[in-house]
């Protein structure tokens, strides 16, 4: 025999089961729609107006019969031992040995991803599992999945771990062979990333980081710490050593001796800084601090190339206000200053690349204040005149020839030369 029941607002399957002296599992079994229709979430969600078939109530009026090897339900004080897989029988009906819902430690471990090894070390978890299995002295097993989950989630074990952390611990214990293979593969990938950046890492550290990244996220001191690629990038950034430098200097600044992708990244950063006139406008120590922090930021992912360009652009506009408009149009400081650098370089008979943006004559030319008080570059003729007044011009071949000619003219004028 079975009864029909119409779900009312505020009902839950566990409430309906208790009122009808049956179990949630039996109601779900008697109503396949709860598992075949996704909207019911396997019975976790029900809606008012839903008609349910309520299975016949099991007669439990007769005394409970204890079966050898199975803990008694009523008045039981049996506790769950770690790893135990004892099956609990809720009772025997008057018509025969009809087993109601059964649970075991192994079932709970698998359902909630609990590694057997942790049960003995967490009392809150032991108590929760004993309560679910009816081994807490209540004599009643808890078969409602929602209530089981609520009990587990109330433990310190659950609150102090993330879902991925719990799954990792369970996977590590229940599938050690595959775990070891995955760990080795992930550690190998970490070593490759370090090597690609010209960095070294010990096998022990690679294994430690691989295990952490397989956990994905953990809770420490109440905070969630994520072990992802950003985590690994920061580790690599912190491992960069700036203790080796080349014997030559680039644009007046020491060049670090780096390898792999770091070498390429460093050269690109040197070139970009040079284009914006940074090395020429700061001390060597100041540039070193900026360079090291920027490289680490790029590797850690806290900076990207656009961030660096924006920083250099703002600095260049501050140092070279006469070039601001051209820099805002997308030119670097050296691109904006190129016509004036060319004029000065030709006057000094040097390569334009060797003209320092921080040179006082260059600053005078590109940050010239006109009659209206605007800061603008001089015209090319003015730039050449300013360059001729600099001491650098005295060492040019042009200056030597001009001085020789002037001297010869004076000597002729005074009759010393024919």
48 in Cβ contact with 9 (< 8 Å): yes
Q: Above 70 in pLDDT, residue 105?
A: yes
Strand partners for 256: 245
Query: Residue 251's pLDDT is what?
Result: 56
b/e burial code for range 146-174 (CB count within 10 A of at least 16 → b): ebbeebbeebebbeebbebbbbbbbbbee
Mean per-residue pLDDT over the chain, rounded: 82
Q: Above 90 in pLDDT, residue 46?
A: no
Q: Above 70 in pLDDT, residue 248?
A: no
Cβ neighbour number for residue 300 with a 10 Å cutoff? 18
Q: Of 69 and 284, which is predicted with more confidence?
A: 284
Pairwise CA distance, residues 305 & 320, whole Å: 22
Strand partners for 245: 256
Pairwise CA distance, residues 295 & 268, whole Å: 11
Query: Residue 269's pLDDT is what?
Result: 92
Q: Of 111 and 386, which is predicted with more confidence?
A: 386
Token pair belonging to 222: 């109440």
Pairwise CA distance, residues 329 & 325, whole Å: 6
pTM: 0.62
Pairwise CA distance, residues 308 & 273, whole Å: 9
Tens of pLDDT along 318-360?
999 999 999 999 999 999 999 999 999 999 999 998 888 888 9
Tens of pLDDT along 276-315?
988 766 777 888 899 999 999 999 999 999 999 999 999 9
């Amino acid at each position: 025999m079975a009864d029909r029941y119409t779900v009312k607002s505020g009902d839950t399957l566990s409430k309906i089961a208790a009122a009808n002296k049956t179990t949630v599992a039996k109601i779900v079994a008697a109503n396949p729609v709860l598992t075949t229709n996704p909207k019911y979430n396997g019975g976790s969600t029900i809606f008012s107006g839903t008609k349910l078939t309520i299975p016949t109530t099991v007669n439990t009026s007769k005394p409970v019969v204890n079966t050898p090897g199975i803990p008694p339900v009523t008045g039981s004080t049996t506790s769950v031992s770690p790893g135990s897989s004892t099956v609990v029988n809720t009772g025997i009906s008057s018509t025969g040995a009809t087993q109601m819902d059964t649970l075991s430690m192994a079932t709970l471990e698998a359902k909630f991803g609990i590694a057997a090894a942790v049960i003995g070390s967490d009392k809150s978890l032991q108590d929760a599992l004993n309560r679910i299995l009816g081994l807490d002295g209540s004599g009643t097993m808890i078969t409602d999945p929602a209530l089981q989950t609520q009990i587990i989630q109330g433990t310190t074990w659950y609150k102090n771990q993330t879902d991925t952390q719990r799954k990792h611990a369970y996977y590590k214990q229940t599938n050690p062979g595959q775990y070891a293979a995955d760990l080795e593969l992930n550690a190998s990938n970490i070593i490759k990333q370090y090597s690609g950046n010209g960095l070294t890492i010990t096998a022990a550290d690679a294994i430690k980081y691989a295990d952490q990244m397989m956990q994905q996220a953990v809770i420490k001191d109440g905070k969630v710490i994520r072990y992802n690629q950003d985590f690994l990038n920061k580790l690599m950034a912190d491992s960069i050593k700036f203790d080796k430098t080349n014997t030559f200097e680039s644009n007046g600044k020491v060049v670090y001796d780096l390898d792999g992708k770091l070498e390429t990244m460093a050269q690109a950063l040197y070139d970009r800084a040079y284009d914006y006139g940074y090395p020429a406008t700061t001390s060597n120590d100041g540039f070193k601090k900026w360079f090291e922090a920027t490289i680490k930021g790029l590797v850690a992912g806290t900076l990207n190339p656009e961030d660096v360009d924006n920083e250099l652009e703002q600095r260049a506009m501050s140092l070279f206000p006469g070039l601001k408009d051209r820099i805002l149009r997308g030119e670097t400081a050296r691109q904006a200053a190129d016509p004036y650098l060319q004029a000065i370089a030709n006057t000094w008979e040097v390569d334009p690349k060797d003209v320092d943006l921080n040179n006082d004559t260059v600053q005078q030319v590109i940050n010239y204040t006109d009659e209206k008080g605007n800061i603008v570059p001089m015209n090319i003729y003015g730039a050449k005149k300013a360059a001729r007044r600099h001491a650098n011009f005295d060492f040019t071949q042009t200056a030597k020839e001009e001085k020789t000619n002037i001297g010869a003219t004076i000597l002729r004028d005074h009759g010393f030369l024919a």
